[in-house]
A and B are shown apart, each in its own frame.
Chain A
């Protein structure tokens, strides 16, 4: 199963990024093959609609699940329509979150925040 996690740096020792839409990178992790790649998040520099663009990038990776501390309503709409399940990360360790996910230890993210449209 492929999963995506917003991460601060391009290595597995790095931390989960507090932002989904404006994370610098996504970790794309295959839980069966235990293989991973990093994806630059081109949405990070967007003036607006970063969540939508980031969600599109994640959807295009054909991932089954997203592990994230937070998610906005527009991004969540894109992800859920595409069938990507959103789980809430626990702590900032990437490895521990993958481990928890593999053991069904993460809960679904239920708090979806409204957009932060400060540019308006």
Chain B
């Protein structure tokens, strides 16, 4: 089973929930797809880490061969190519590495070169295999890294928890694509409710089974909870606003590994997910 954990904004508790769900399984894989700021490894502190560089292709134009026909410029749906001063200009940061320009060029004037955009690190932390994607600073998109993270894991039979980037962008869509279940994390505020709505729209669009974990629960009104009730979203767990949890978490300790109560709380969420998926 593959569980994706997502939220409309950062700081709601995606990593807290992802790390602890993975840890609550007997054996599991944790994949950090939040490649702009991966932080699950700070909790797992994995051993025997192996690093793999992630490369993408970008076009290089041989200006001597180029006839200036602009076929490539017209072809590029991302508008990554322009024709200025009788030369094709490539915008690497806009290029999506589809390779189309090099295939379509009638003069065979376009070749592709490798460009490193980040790394994937794999290691082990007790019962959890920890795989982290890391995008180099300044790169435009982590989608190729997320694709590779999930591709490497596609044949895996172990239960997998995917820690998604915040929001509902392309990187999140890529992260949830193969998930069997999506866990939406929400804060008990109006802003939290708005962000929950964003990811709710996304998982509906992807037609994935999903449920909501309400984080930082306090006494009184919870706009995210009322949203779940209004929209018939299953609430699969509630994590209290607990200063002790905050302190332990801030020290990079995995709460399920040190607290029976929280271990039970996350195992209950897992059980609920398993029920929902097998339905």
Interfacial residues, chain A to chain B (CB-CB below 8 A):
43, 46-50, 52-53, 55-56, 59, 74, 77-78, 81-82, 115, 117-120
Contact = CB atoms under 8 A, between A and B. Distances in A.
Given A47-B78, A48-B78, A119-B170, 8 more contacts: A46-B79, A47-B77, A49-B91, A50-B79, A56-B82, A81-B84, A118-B169, A120-B171
B141 interface: yes
Contact of B79 (A43, A59, A81, A120): A43
Contacts of A117: 140
Contacts of B84: 56, 59, 78, 81-82
Listed from nearest, the 5 A-B pairs whose CB atoms lie closest are A49-B79, A53-B79, A120-B141, A52-B79, A49-B94
B94 A56 contact: no
A29 to B, nearest CB: 22
A117 B80 CA distance: 13
15 contacts: A49-B79, A49-B80, A49-B91, A52-B82, A52-B94, A56-B82, A56-B83, A56-B84, A59-B82, A74-B91, A74-B93, A77-B91, A81-B85, A120-B143, A120-B171
Contacts of A50: 79
B216 interface: no
B89 interface: yes
A28 B94 CA distance: 27
A77 B84 CA distance: 10
Contacts of B78: 47-49
A74 B93 CA distance: 10
B73 interface: yes
Contact of A120 (B73, B81, B170): B170
A41 to B, nearest CB: 12
Nearest to A55: B82
B144 to A, nearest CB: 12
A43 B80 CA distance: 12
Contact of B94 (A43, A59, A74, A81): A74
Contacts of B94: 48-49, 52, 74
Nearest to A84: B84
Contacts of B79: 43, 46, 48-50, 52-53
B91 A52 contact: yes
Interface string B50-89: 0000000000000000000000010011111111110001
B19 to A, nearest CB: 26
B172 to A, nearest CB: 11
Interface in B168-216: 169-171
A78 B141 contact: no
A51 to B, nearest CB: 8
Contacts of B80: 49, 52
A74 B169 CA distance: 22
Nearest to A51: B79
B10 to A, nearest CB: 16
A47 B73 CA distance: 15
Contacts of A46: 79
Contacts of B169: 118-120
A81 B89 contact: yes
A32 to B, nearest CB: 25
Nearest to A79: B84
A68 B72 CA distance: 28
Contacts of A77: 89, 91
B59 to A, nearest CB: 14
Nearest to A60: B83
A55 to B, nearest CB: 7
B243 to A, nearest CB: 36
Contacts of A43: 79
